[in-house]
Chain A
Amino acid sequence: MSNAATTTGRAPSVYVPSAEALATVLAPGARPPRPSALSASLTFGWRALLKIKHVPEQLFDVTAFPIIMVLMFTYLFGGALADSPRDYLQFFLPGIMVTSVVMITMYTGVGLNTDIEKGVFDRFRTLPVWRPAALVGMIFGDVLRYVLAALVILGVGLALGFRPDGGLLGVLAGIGLLVVFSFAFSWVWTFFGLILRSEKSVMGVSMMVLFPLTFLSNVFVDPGTMPGWLQAFVKANPITHLVAAVRATMAGSSDPTKTMWLLLWSAGFVVVFGTLTMYRYNRR
């Protein structure tokens, strides 16, 4: 181990522990009351923000990746599936926004998997705070990334000619639905992040789930042309409900049935995978 001098690059005064100084900081104040579940979760969310501040490169996947997705598919399919890329975009933008953001949710699992291998989680798990707070806070941080990705896509879409009938309110409400679903869906990845051994296997599993889930949906084309068995899958796919709900909201109408399904799916993900996640987290 190097000493302080080589690490800091300036001559440090050697630290001599002083019994008096230590005694002052050891003097027990009254123990503050435990923070509430929300306050603890927000504090962990603050940690996620600090990590973004210190490692801003991690925002690459919520900025560059979505831009590439929009450009690629708009020009790849636009001419073939609609009269022009611009026409296709009116249909396609809400879908590609959902696809990109839902794909980004997998980084929650990858991040947790690498984070939890470090000693700091040992400390978090020995704190007398609401148990899920560390994970909820982590996902709060990710929600910020989802919002960012959605806004980037919206910006690219607007630049390419996306003109939603729902106006600003409709678009924001659509993004709101997407973020609610993504928050809930993230719990799938926290669970996989905990049970799988390596970052790579988390990635692998995520891709295996996300590709069929996003492509076998109504994101790219109208499911009407698909074979019956595939239509059945597409109909049951939560991504289909999400895209339908977001599309309707951004178009200024609303799809109450799909929105209800979407919220049910979201609640289901939190209940089932949130419980599984906490079970694994506590038993690690």
Chain B
Amino acid sequence: MKSFLWSVLILIVTFSSGVARAELVIEITQGIDNPTVIAVSPFAWEGSGVAPEDVAYIIQNDLYRSGQFAPVARENMLGTPSRDEDIFFRDWRMVNAQYLLIGRLTGDQTLIADFALYDVTKQTLVIQGREESVVGEVRTLSHRIADRVYTALTGIPGAFATKLLYVAVTPIPGEKDYYELTLADADGARPRVLLASREPILAPTWSPDAKEIAYVSFETSRPAIFRQNLQTGAREQLTAFRGLNGSPSWSPDGQRMAMVLSKDGNPDIYVLDMQTYVLERITRNYAIDTEPTWMPDGKSLLFTSDRPGRPQIYRYDFVTGLTDRVTYEGSYNARARVAQDGRNVVLVHQQDGDYKIAVLDLETRRLTALTSTDLDESPSIAPNGSMVLYATKQAGRGILAAVSVDGGARFNLPARDGEVREPAWSPYLPKTP
């Protein structure tokens, strides 16, 4: 018993130095041709002590990352107004700003930010508003302001106040790799480990209310599907069938989960009722059926099948019970994810031997390649449908990268150290204090 305790202690000592969180760093590689120039004046801090965060800087970076905005550098600002009466529009025209965002941050345990967005050319107010948060969530507060600015200027809901899930892999010399399922803000900040394991973690995915996640873990020596409460970390092992247990995907109403099991022979799609734990088999085919994902209306599933000889996307309709083929272009189409509008499908597409991320418009049936590298995988789409996050390789190292659905804006999210893979962009988050 004593030696037991000792070994635990030794483990703690050896790991406390080596375990670092894989934090993502953002490198913007391409923006659109004529970005909107916006100046985000530093927010005045009117509380006591030191300002908790540079709110304006977070907002500015959010907008920049979208590729649609070019923020004015602070050193070029001729003034830093935080109130309406301090604005000299002439100053902002001189630095070519089209819009100006000002704001003030105050509070103690609860922070309150008042902000106002001005059109510099017309010298008019576009929107003004207030966001509140507890002091620890000042980044969330900043992202929410960025969302409101983005919505006001583009007409598209912002998705900056969302989260990313990804798997960070740290090689440990002479030992098994170290896997961390990590949660981070959409800008890569505030990484938090949700599951640490010495066995692979795959296919993380979100529940539609963003309160739970599911994934495949090999910790029980064979693949098994787990669901985990985000807040408490408590989890439930859902399956441990003989063979494959993979690709969990929550239905839009949160009541069911599609998954791949090979318990009855070869891999097929099943749907698990999360209340009754009743499994329904969806496909019965001697081909491999895998990677199910729900259409936003919950009435059909897209999945990958190699029944035509090479992997292609098929669609199962729950109403008619019929399955039909969705992709015809290219010799390989797999890992589909559907945007909330139910129209754009991002997938891995093989073209000239390279695996690229492509977007398929289900209405026009047009397929457009979005990426130009050759080993892109695991696409995941932002809840507002504007950006696609995917895993790729940079100098032989696994990194995350993002591209806008129109292909105009791109950025990379490499980890500070180690590799990152299997990204999953969250749905819109419930409003938290």
Are the chains A and B members of one assembly? Answer: no
Q: What residues make up the interface of B, taking CB atoms closer than 8 Å to A? A: none
Where the two chains meet, the residues of A that have a C-beta atom closer than 8 Å to any C-beta of B are none
